[in-house]
Structure 1
């Protein structure tokens, strides 16, 4: 899907690594701000990605603020208004603000297309490695940046899957190997390449190791059949078992999307990911969706983790690259859109004014403020699902005190005040 297979000779203002929700939204907003922007993606677009595929109230409002509501609706997403939790035959239905469900294949491709239309250059099938500088190796608390000779640009080493992509046609085997590589200079790097941010593997101070016991993500997209009529079109179904949980929701084109979080020890003991999922549905007391049996099931690396640093010299981390907490009904995409929206003032300031370490501290503070409440709630919910003795009384509490449940739901779906006017 690349709109270009070559790197322009000119330097860029912003290079964005990863074309998921955070990266593509950042590419769109940076280009709209008049910045020379390139968006780099290691996979060939469009592609499927393991995700719950829910655009919750906060995510929708951020898209609407960016003038993207009509584009989202053109994807013909399913509309959801409730969360249906099933655990050992028990049922809990929670009313949710109107949300949308759309595959990441369609959602990400659409956002990338919008970014390209705004002037962003997009290149897929390329991996990027941020090249280290002296300040990456030294903690900020240890030495002031003014004591270092800091560059005015960052350098990325790119490796292309297309032999001609670096804009130097190969003539020999040596040329062919060299033509797969290129260096790119940019004033700012936005790291949006997901869990573990592999683009920063040369910068050990930015590591994001998984939390002990972190669950593994599984995902699949498959056709909806008449046998799945028990899954309501307007609900997000969550089947919960001691070994993990699986969420199912209808998406565009009469398809179902499944996203699950599974204990790795249980997954290793199972004959296959499908058997593991079948046992979760059976334990929850609901049937397994019909076509899941023949679907391609994809997995992730361990989910829950937190990056040691989320900013450095001319470098900002966004989205899942900053860390990850198991989300439930759209928080993952909402966090990504929130971070992309909130980062733009820092990026613009870094380009149009001289660089300052205040931008690093400012992004750390802003990111903490806009995500901490929602992530605390998700940590609480995740912990509840992990303890089989705790979930039944929590379900009972939610049934008898719906106002408390709605308060938590509203907190998750609310746009941070700091972003309402951006």
Structure 2
């Protein structure tokens, strides 16, 4: 006998209570809920309809979390600066609660040194967001979300990055705009006010190694996130058409994208550029079978590009870290090295035009843009922004194509240099 799944049962409950609420509004000639400015601000509902509305809210909430899945639950609560999640990560509770047996509040209090009453209050708040569950009074067991924290090591630093760095920066972003309304400088970001520093984010992290390591771990986790896999870069362009071409991966860190392309297209060669300390570490980690085609070079992207005549100069998630002023400097530093027809490619967001996406998809774009605004006074860009940026750097940069792939979180923005030799 087939049993009804929880998500189907919730969907049916949502339908039944929605119909009950809607029929009441129609019968009593009341306007339906909407986001219009003239919509009712509050309904005075009789007890049975109010109960149906509350049951509808509860079912919607549970179905929303189930549909998100455990990793997306953690992601959502990271950006919401969840008290429960912060408590768990601050005391590493995802590791202190055994996956198979669970633990009592008292056992966790003994391990963390927290008063049991306060720890219990904090965790019970987190449990309302499906972060642990109280299987019986006084006993803590994992949910899928907290298990994900325990078994995916990089998920925790990513979550802490969201709560400890991004969240406070966003809270101070409006103050930063008020203080420096016309500035394009990185040190005039909400991040700087949140940390009471005159240094831009990357320089600040260099002086705080623990936070820098957390940032690096968070970025490593982000590379594995659905929609950000390097496979999308391989699909978005005809790399084979470049023949035996040379690709320069500017700001490419350990060259993971270049290595993935190199595996699929053995006629191509790659030079990965980044700052000296990154390059020294990367050199020792390149697979032996790729060492003859993937090399590394220390280079500051704000200085003149030393590799001349490459087919492609590739940037992955670099330009969204910088305001237009600095992106123009990066582009102009390439010009002496460019041959006619050379491509400059960006794996970045090219935001869709406003009023074209469902609101949930639009939220991803706007969250990304505001995060960059808050952290480094930079931005995500739409096609018009990209075209203006290229023209400001040099009119000989032309935007050839924006390749969008289904489910990809980054687009491939393909630019060509139309200058002469």
TM-score range, shorter chain: under 0.3
- Normalising by structure 2, we get a TM-score of 0.26
Of structures 1 and 2, the larger Rg is shown by: 2
Greater share of residues in helix = 2
Tell me the TM-score normalized by structure 1. 0.25
Higher relative contact order (CA 8 A, sep 6+): 1
